[in-house]
């Protein structure tokens, strides 16, 4: 996988070191990134005893729901 983060300066995008991908099916995604940082300053911290209810769950999968 190749990940490139850059500022576009023209309507043409040039990629380096993609010779091994020539002739292969690829997917290219372009996403606009905002200039401001998305950092959250937490004001509270705590813990909760769930008595093992999440032992077999991946909490990261539901963290943003």
Q: What pLDDT shows up at residue 64?
A: 60
CB-based contact 15:2 (threshold 8 Å): yes
**pTM (whole model) above 0.95:** no
Q: What pLDDT shows up at residue 45?
A: 77
CB-based contact 20:1 (threshold 8 Å): no
Cα torsion 48, 53, 55, 56 to 10°: value is: -140
Comparing CA positions, the residue from 28, 36, 40 lying closest to residue 2 is: 28
List the chain residues with pLDDT less than 70.
35-38, 54, 57, 59, 61-65
| Location of structure tokens 């077999």 | 56
């Amino acid at each position: 996988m190749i990940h490139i983060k850059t500022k576009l300066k023209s309507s043409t995008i040039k990629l380096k070191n993609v010779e091994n991908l020539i002739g292969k099916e690829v997917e290219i995604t372009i996403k606009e990134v905002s200039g401001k940082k998305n950092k959250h300053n937490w004001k509270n911290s705590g813990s909760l005893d769930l008595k093992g209810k999440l032992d077999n769950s991946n909490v990261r999968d539901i963290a943003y729901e």
